[in-house]
A and B are shown apart, each in its own frame.
Chain A
């Protein structure tokens, strides 16, 4: 029996879809039982949401004021505390999981497997290196506990039709007080979350200003899509960092991706290569984005986007 523990990611009120994706990855392992652990201030609602994820055996709820902000240095020792029964401990390859899981691995005196993209057996996996340009097949010794982050773009989200049991667990382990959460500055948006959106519209440097990005947002809203950007657009200050799609931003896999005024630097392509259909709109017919696009249209985005939006709005 492979007992797998998935660390839930959440924002205090909602379970992040990355958690469902980790559960899907875990379910690919033969002969497995999957538990999810929720660390939060008061996790009654979060735990009941996690208990709905298909394939989950049990939800472990660990509450405490100290768990309010998901700080790695605080959560990692608590994961170690409940780790002994588990053969595998998974977290998402989001900034939450990347911050946390190596800290867990080191406390357990083992290495972490980063960015699992495919499960071969319970102890053999594929993962990307060199920005996705070299895919490794790795095998872990059977004696080793497996601590891993899961590349969320490689797995679909498990659905929410379950009704798993919830265990409330308390402990009295000493936790550090050397780290203090201050604040989160977040661009408020009602658009779908980039990492779980079915459709995403992204703009690049060719938008040329923060103001011009309005047409990207409007097109996204017409499509019910998330809004993203290239690194160049973020670096130029047109949009906030959390919109960045690419190797150093978010790695996404929507059904439809529209790349508008994005040339297609390798680091951007790394972030979208699992998208279903890629549409590229660019005035430069030699832009590398057209090499990977399923549908390409050469022309002036400032003419094309309003026309496209008008047609969609019908």
Chain B
């Protein structure tokens, strides 16, 4: 059975304007809309397309977090994933511990491909896929904008600073996805009904025997310094004069 595991993280919806709590303890989450991390949605869409091409048999969506993450897993099932696993914890786990959870589930499920978002839009860490590839000693293809698969290899085009890099990796492998890989499908109502009957296993993080790494402590959260609104000019000569005054031209 050719399996793909996709990670789905519950994050503050990307349309929400994030507000830092005045006491510096973090960002406001009460009453804020939550969604699947947009990069993870692209990862799932890609997995679904691979299955639709007959190149995978089962897609498992995995989330690690509070019980409410079941909502995002149900959305993933409605998009077309076959089953879901939630590793439930109220702790805000560090990326290395998240990676070790993935490693454990992978050792049980033996997927030949794991597709993750390149980063979560909350912590912006951009670490889990690379760490997972290191621990498993698997190849990695990060920031993918095109994936071509056969039974034993994947050719991946990566969005890098210098342009588009193509690499070939042996399977099993970890791929992390960038924004231009695909456009995720919309979920239809009948699919939401069907998703309610698909299996969703909940496992307590405490049962996995992983000790979180607490070496990095967050001391404070603050809003960024804001740029001040500047001046408006009426025409090109006035713009040139301003730039000359600043010594920029």
Contacts and interface: CB of A to CB of B under 8 A. Distances in A.
B123 A110 contact: no
Contact of B216 (A128, A138, A199): A138
Interface stretch (A42-50, A54-62, A91-99, A157-165): A91-99
A215 interface: no
A192 interface: no
7 contacts: A106-B135, A110-B215, A133-B223, A141-B215, A179-B170, A184-B164, A256-B243
Contacts of A178: 138-139, 169-170, 173
Contact of B222 (A98, A135, A292): A135
Nearest to B235: A297
B221 A103 contact: no
B124 A130 contact: yes
Contact of A311 (B232, B237, B242): B237
A208 interface: no
Contact of A292 (B96, B139, B170, B227): B227
A273 B224 CA distance: 10
Contact of A183 (B165, B217, B229, B233): B165
Contacts of A139: 216-217, 219
Contacts of B243: 256, 277, 279, 295
Given A95-B142, A185-B166, 19 more contacts: A73-B139, A102-B131, A106-B99, A112-B125, A128-B124, A129-B122, A134-B20, A134-B224, A137-B221, A176-B137, A179-B168, A180-B168, A183-B166, A186-B162, A231-B179, A242-B159, A295-B231, A311-B240, A312-B249
B163 A184 contact: yes
Given A128-B224, A138-B218, A96 B143 contact: no
B72 interface: no
A111 B215 CA distance: 8
Contacts of A263: none
Contact of B131 (A106, A128, A248): A106
A126 B169 CA distance: 35
B235 A130 contact: no
A103 B224 contact: no
Contact of B163 (A102, A241, A255, A304): A241
Interface residues of B, number: 79
Interface in A261-314: 273, 276-279, 290-298, 304, 307-308, 311-312
Give the dominant DSSP class at B's interface.
Answer: mixed
B126 interface: yes
Interface residues of A, number: 85
A73 B219 contact: no
B180 A235 contact: yes
Contacts of B222: 134-135, 137
Given A99-B143, A279-B239, A293-B230, A185 B163 contact: yes
A180 B156 CA distance: 10
A121 to B, nearest CB: 11
Given A134-B222, A312-B249, A250 B161 contact: yes
Interface of A: 11, 71-73, 76, 94-96, 98-107, 109-115, 124, 128-141, 143-144, 176, 178-187, 195, 199, 223, 231, 234-235, 240-242, 248, 250, 255-256, 273, 276-279, 290-298, 304, 307-308, 311-312
Interface of B: 12, 17-18, 20, 26-27, 94-96, 99, 121-135, 137-140, 142-143, 145, 155, 158-170, 173, 178-180, 213, 215-224, 227, 229-240, 242-243, 246, 248-249
A124 B219 CA distance: 9
Nearest to B176: A99
A146 to B, nearest CB: 9
A176 B172 CA distance: 14
Contacts of A94: 161
Residue of A95, A231, A276 with highest tally of chain B CB at under 10 A = A95
Contacts of B140: 72-73, 99, 103, 179
B215 A140 contact: yes
A129 B215 contact: no
Given A99-B143, A290-B232, A112 B95 contact: yes
Contact of B219 (A115, A137, A234): A137
